[in-house]
Amino acid sequence: MRAVLQRVTTAQVSVEGEVVGAIDRPGLVALVGVTHDDGPTQVEALARKISELRILRDERSVIDDAAPVLVVSQFTLHADVRKGRRPSWSAAAPGRVAEPLVDAVVAALRARGVEVATGVFGAMMEVTIVNDGPVTLIIDV
C-alpha cells in the first residue's frame, strides 16, 4: 500500500462538478494506492502513519490537532514507467480488491477518532489542494 500525504490548509474533491468530500481547515490529503499483496496489516500500518506522523505545523500530528484527512483512492501511484512511454498499471490491485482496502483505511482512521472526508472510488475526480509548506511525503507500508 502506498500513500502520498500532503499537508494542506484546505482541500476538496469533486465529481461531475459536485463537491463530494472536503476539509476546510488545516489537515492532510492522503492519495492511497493499493497493490496485489496488500491486506489488513498494511491498512492498520497506513492508518497509524497518517494519524500519528508529526508533519503538521509545530511538529504536531493529525491526532494531536484533531485535524481532518481527505482520503482519495489513486491506483496510478503504482504505475511502472521504467519502459517506454506508456505506464503499466499491472502492480495496482483491481477495483474489487482495492476498494474494500481503501474503505478499510478510512474506517481505521475513523476508529482512531480522525475526521475523514473521501472521494468516490473509481470516479473521475477533480482534487483541489492548497498545499501548506509545501509538505509532501510518500509512504510505503
The set of catalytic residues is 74-76
| Dihedral sign from CA coordinates of 63, 65, 66, 68 | negative
Closest CA to 115 of 76, 67, 83, 78: 67
Burial class of residue 68 (count of CB atoms within 10 Å of its CB; 0-12, 13-18, 19+): buried
Q: Which amino acid is residue 122, in one-letter code?
A: G
